[in-house]
Structures are given as structure tokens and as C-alpha cells.
């Protein structure tokens, strides 16, 4: 007997809905966004090696050594709720099928093109009373570590009018007529089940770094790792040469980032992104790294006793606070600085010369003023005898004035004659002044 046409149409619509539901799941969507699987805060001392753990067995590309035997579908039957399930049939992506019960051989069939069409439905040629129960369609991808399951409940009836298919809110329920064929639907057209891509072109891992206060969308890229072996390093130069990921990262699934040596400027948020487009894997692990001061070295152990032995070494002073390192930078002097210093020296020398000239001129002026004062004092002294010796001593100093024609009024002829003799170019006569004075007084 055949199923009614309405039931077949309903099964077709239900089949398409299941296909859409399974293909839109998180594991089958190749464009799903990265999900944060872990977020932790780690702290390391400055100067040590920091290791940020990022491991995933699903990123081990060498596991695909079985090739088309990595994908498998199998149907199980459970007699009742909580009862044991038995394996009915399974098939690998290479097309190999295996039926476990001898009575089911030739009666249970799977489409040979199931892994190309995405249709893993099970066909039972002749339904029997013992076929009732809960059937599960299980899809396994050993390489991608994906496991999906779909349940269908089969009921056997003798009334052709009762043959129908419906949804009970959790699973599909199919009522089939005894001796008629029954199709248990299981469709999943996600590319991870239908296609096999080159793994090297589908796997990539990268590390990002966010300095303190920088949002995630403006993070700096540190490393790009591809399963093909290509690597690209980014980031600031002071950090690029100190970060590393193991060369066999894709062989072991270990993409841990090591920073050696760790510096205070390395603080920030680090994120490990794992993308496996073939398996639909998009994971992100976040690490908040904090750098602490290095631990102080313990003081050397002293010899037993009172500490006065030769082997005892004094420990560091605990009262001295640890300060920042101070670097003295000596900037070389330029040519302008040399000319500036030379100008200072020349200005000082010029000032000294001016001061010396001023002192010499002042000294000469003072000496000349002293001689003039002595001559005036001798001329104005009344009733005092003039010593010829003193006059002769002052005569040399007054020699420059002989050439001058000085018109003076004299009190007597003696003074007039003496002045004329002083200005006369003829040699001065030897005159006895004492005798002349006595003559004057006698008059």
C-alpha cells in the first residue's frame, strides 16, 4: 500500500523545514560570528615568560588522515523511553553501507548519494510490527568533532486511513500501514556534511591585542597563522620580536602565545581567534594580562651564629624604596655653544682693557695736577725766600710753557726780568737772587 497523497505532500514540506532548521544551526553555519568561549584575567611578573593558553582539538588538521571516513551517518532504534538502543545501519561518506541485523539486509536502505545530496533519510521497504519505536538519525564528523541527531517516532497501524505524519512538538511522528514502505526523513544540507574542502585553505588562527582603554573593534593584530604554514607578524616593534606561537600549532591544536621577556608596557587585553571555515568553527578566547613587579630575590643564607662570621653577607636595606631607573643623557655641544663661550671671553677681555686704560689715564691726570699745585703754591707765598734749588727742580716741568707769550703784570722789575729770561731762547744767566733781594730791601 502507498501513503495518501496528502501525507506525502506534508512529509515533503516537513522535510524542507527540517533541512532549513539543521542548516541554520550554529555548527553548520560557515558565517557564524566568533563566540567567546572563555575570558580570564592573568598576571605575570615583569622579566619572566608569559604564556597565554589557547588550545582546541578541533583545529588539528592532521586528524583528517582518514579522509572520507571522517563523516558517518547511522540509524539507531530504541524500543521505549529509557530503553537500550540498537544499531540498525550506518554509512561512511565514501559510500560504504553496513546493516547490522541479517533480517534487515535488503529491507533498510540509505541513498548512496546521501553525502552529496544531504539527504540521510532511511527507507523501510516493508514495515513490521517489531519496527515500532523511536528512531534516531545520527551524523558524526570525527575530524570536526561535530555530532548532530534527529529523532523520528514510527507507529504501525492496520488502518490505511490512519496513515499520517505529524509533529508532536518535539519530534516527527509517522504512522505507517503494516507491510507498506515507510520513509524516515533526515536531511542536513550544510556544506560540512556534503562537501570536503582543503583544510589548509579553511583554517586560520590569529592573535589580537588591545592596549588599556582601547575597544575591541580597534584592537591591533599581532599574528596570523595559516594551516598551510604561512605566518604574518604585525604589532609594534617592541612587542613583535618577543611574541611567538609554536611551529607545530596546527599539528597539536595548541596556539598558545608566549611573551618573553615580559615588560610593563605589554599590559592589555589579548584575544585568540580560531576559525575553521570547513568545520564551521569560530571561537575566541580573551585574556586580560596584568604585569606585576618582579619578585625580590631572597637574601643569601648566613652562617649559623651571631652574624659576625666572614661568610655573613648583609641583606638589602628594607627601608629603601624601589624607584624607577634614571638614565643620564649627555647631549653633545653644538657650534653655536662654542661661539657663545668665545663671545663671553672676548667681552670680559675688552672690559678688562677699558678698565686698565681708565686707571692709567686717571693716574697721569692726578700727577699733572700735583705739579701745577706746587707751582701755584710757590708763587703765592708772601715774604718767603725762594730757594734757587727748588726753583731749578721745577724749572724742567715748566719748560713746555716757554714758547707761550704770556702777558702778565709784574710788581717789580726783578720778576719781569725773570719771566723774560724764562721765555727767552738765550741761555739763562747766573744771577744771584739773594744779592738782588738785598739790594731791593736796602732801597
Same domain, 236 and 93: no
Q: Nearest CA to 282 among 25, 10, 30?
A: 30
Number of domains in the chain: 3
**Side-chain half-sphere of 365: how many Cα atoms within 13 Å?**
6
Any domain includes 415: no
- Among the candidates 194, 209, 233, a domain finishes at 194
Its domain, for residue 212, covers: 36-59+197-292
Same domain, 77 and 221: no
Q: Name the packing angle between helices 388-395 and 335-380 (round to 10°).
A: 150
Q: Cα separation of 293 and 44, whole Å?
A: 9
Q: Cα separation of 41 and 291, whole Å?
A: 11
* Chain mean position to CA 275: 24
pLDDT at 417 (0 to 100): 75
Any domain includes 432: no
Query: Could you tell me whether strands 71-78 and 50-52 are parallel, antiparallel, or unpaired per DSSP bridges?
Result: unpaired
Any domain includes 267: yes
C-alpha dihedral (94, 99, 104, 105), degrees to nearest 10? 60
Q: Return the CATH number at 183.
A: 2.60.40.10
- Among the candidates 135, 166, 194, a domain finishes at 194
Any domain includes 349: yes
Same domain, 260 and 361: no
Same domain, 190 and 213: no
Any domain includes 402: no
Please write the tens of the pLDDT for every residue from 226-249: 888 888 988 778 788 889 999 888
Same domain, 136 and 17: yes
Same domain, 12 and 144: yes
Q: Are residues 99 and 105 in contact, defined by beta-carbon separation less than 8 angstroms?
A: yes
DSSP β-bridge partners for residue 139: 73, 148
Any domain includes 243: yes
Residues 6+ apart with CB under 8 A from 397: 371, 375
Same domain, 76 and 19: yes
Same domain, 145 and 205: no
pLDDT at 20 (0 to 100): 37
Q: Cα separation of 134 and 88, whole Å?
A: 12
Same domain, 144 and 84: yes
* Chain mean position to CA 43: 17
Any domain includes 397: no
Same domain, 178 and 150: yes
Any domain includes 414: no
Same domain, 24 and 53: no
Q: What is the pLDDT along the chain (443 residues), one digit of tens a residue?
A: 344 444 444 444 444 444 433 333 333 333 346 788 888 888 888 888 889 999 888 787 666 565 667 889 999 998 766 667 889 999 988 888 899 999 888 899 999 989 888 999 999 998 988 888 899 999 998 878 889 999 999 999 988 888 888 898 888 999 999 989 999 999 998 888 887 666 666 789 999 998 888 888 888 899 999 888 888 988 778 788 889 999 888 888 899 999 988 888 889 999 999 998 878 888 999 999 998 888 766 666 655 544 444 444 555 545 444 455 555 545 555 667 778 888 889 999 999 999 999 999 999 888 887 666 555 655 555 555 545 454 444 444 444 444 444 555 555 677 777 777 776 655 555 666 677 667 666 65
Same domain, 101 and 121: yes
pLDDT at 170 (0 to 100): 87
- Among the candidates 168, 194, 220, a domain finishes at 194
Residue with cell 515507510: 182
Q: Cα separation of 94 and 109, whole Å?
A: 16
3-state secondary structure 282-321: EEEEEEEEEEECCCCCCCCCCCCCCCCCCCCCCCCCCCCC
Amino acid at each position: 500500500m502507498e501513503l495518501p497523497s496528502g501525507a506525502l505532500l506534508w512529509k515533503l514540506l516537513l522535510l524542507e523545514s527540517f533541512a532549513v532548521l539543521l542548516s541554520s544551526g550554529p555548527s553548520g553555519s560557515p558565517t557564524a560570528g566568533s563566540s567567546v568561549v572563555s575570558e580570564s584575567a592573568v598576571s605575570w611578573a615583569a622579566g619572566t615568560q608569559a604564556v597565554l593558553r589557547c588550545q582546541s582539538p578541533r583545529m588539528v588538521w592532521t586528524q583528517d588522515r582518514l579522509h572520507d571516513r571522517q563523516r558517518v551517518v547511522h540509524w539507531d532504534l530504541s524500543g521505549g523511553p529509557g530503553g537500550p538502543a540498537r544499531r540498525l545501519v550506518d554509512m561512511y561518506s565514501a559510500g560504504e553501507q553496513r546493516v547490522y541485523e541479517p533480517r534487515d539486509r535488503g529491507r533498510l536502505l540509505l541513498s548512496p548519494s546521501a553525502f552529496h545530496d544531504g539527504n540521510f533519510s532511511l527507507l523501510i521497504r516493508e514495515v513490521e510490527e517489531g519496527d515500532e519505536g523511536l528512531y534516531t538519525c545520527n551524523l558524526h564528523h570525527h575530524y570536526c568533532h561535530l555530532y548532530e541527531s534527529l529523532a523520528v517516532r514510527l507507529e504501525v497501524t492496520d488502518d490505511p486511513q490512519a496513515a499520517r505524519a505529524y509533529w508532536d512538538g518535539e519530534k516527527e511522528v509517522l504512522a505507517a500501514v503494516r507491510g507498506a514502505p515507510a520513509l524516515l526523513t533526515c536531511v542536513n544540507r550544510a556544506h560540512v556534511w556534503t562537501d570536503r574542502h582543503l583544510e589548509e585553505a579553511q583554517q586560520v588562527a590569529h592573535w589580537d591585542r588591545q592596549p588599556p582603554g582601547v575597544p575591541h573593534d580597534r584592537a591591533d593584530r599581532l599574528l596570523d597563522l595559516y594551516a598551510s604554514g604561512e605566518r604574518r607578524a604585525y604589532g609594534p616593534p617592541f612587542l613583535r620580536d618577543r611574541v611567538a606561537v609554536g611551529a607545530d600549532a596546527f599539528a597539536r591544536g595548541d596556539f598558545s602565545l608566549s611573551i618573553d621577556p615580559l615588560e610593563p608596557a605589554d599590559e592589555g587585553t589579548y584575544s585568540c581567534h580560531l576559525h575553521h571555515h570547513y568545520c564551521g568553527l569560530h571561537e575566541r578566547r580573551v585574556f586580560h594580562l596584568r604585569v606585576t613587579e618582579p619578585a625580590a630575590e631572597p637574601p643569601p643564607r648566613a652562617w649559623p651564629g651571631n652574624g659576625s662570621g666572614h661568610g655573613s653577607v648583609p641583606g638589602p636595606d628594607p627601608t629603601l624604596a624601589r624607584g624607577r631607573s634614571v638614565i643620564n643623557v649627555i647631549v653633545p655641544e653644538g657650534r653655536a655653544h662654542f661661539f657663545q663661550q668665545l663671545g663671553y671671553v672676548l667681552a670680559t677681555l675688552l672690559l678688562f682693557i677699558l678698565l686698565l686704560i681708565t686707571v692709567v689715564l686717571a693716574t697721569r691726570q692726578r700727577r699733572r695736577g700735583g705739579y701745577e699745585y706746587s707751582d701755584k703754591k710757590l708763587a703765592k707765598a708772601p715774604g718767603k725766600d725762594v730757594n734757587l734749588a727748588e726753583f731749578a727742580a721745577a724749572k724742567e716741568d715748566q719748560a713746555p710753557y716757554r714758547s707761550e707769550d704770556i702777558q702778565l703784570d709784574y710788581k717789580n722789575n726783578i720778576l719781569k726780568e725773570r719771566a723774560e729770561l724764562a721765555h727767552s731762547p738765550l741761555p739763562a744767566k747766573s744771577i744771584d737772587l739773594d744779592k738782588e733781594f738785598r739790594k731791593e730791601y736796602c732801597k
